Amino acid sequence: MVGHIFFSTVQLEDHPGISVYALGPLCVYRQYQKQGIGSKLVEKGIKECVNQGYKIVIVQGSLQYYARFGFIPIDRTRLHTIFASRHDMVLELENSILSGVKGLIDYPKPWQVFKED
């Protein structure tokens, strides 16, 4: 194994029927970085999200890195997360779904230890 990617189901509070995944963590061991492995993991992960019927993926991460996959800063939408971080980003997997949703994206309890009060 040279790396891994993980996705968690999260809840869009005002739209419980819309399936949302949170990407994280993504890890590639240092000696294997800069070889495209992380990009392949993200691309494969996004493809699997689409195959499973998810409509939106969110991530907290590098604006430069995740923009290459189509993620945009969440503050360009009417969504927000429990983290309220400038690193919150979102990707729509179904055309125009972001224009019809608003509200809080809430994470499962294990994620909430990372929330600043």
Query: What percentage of the chain carries pLDDT values higher than 90?
Result: 85
Q: What pLDDT sits at residue 117?
A: 62
| Measured distance CA(85)–CA(8) in Å, rounded | 18
pLDDT digits (tens, 9 = 90+) for 21-69: 999 899 999 999 999 999 999 999 999 999 999 999 999 999 999 999 9
Q: What pLDDT sits at residue 101?
A: 96
Rounded to an integer, the average pLDDT of 15-19 is: 94
Whole-prediction pTM? 0.91
Q: Which helix (H) or strand (E) holds 37?
A: helix 37-51
pLDDT level of residue 108 (50, 70, 90 thresholds): confident
**Could you give the domains of the chain?**
3-114 (3.40.630.30)
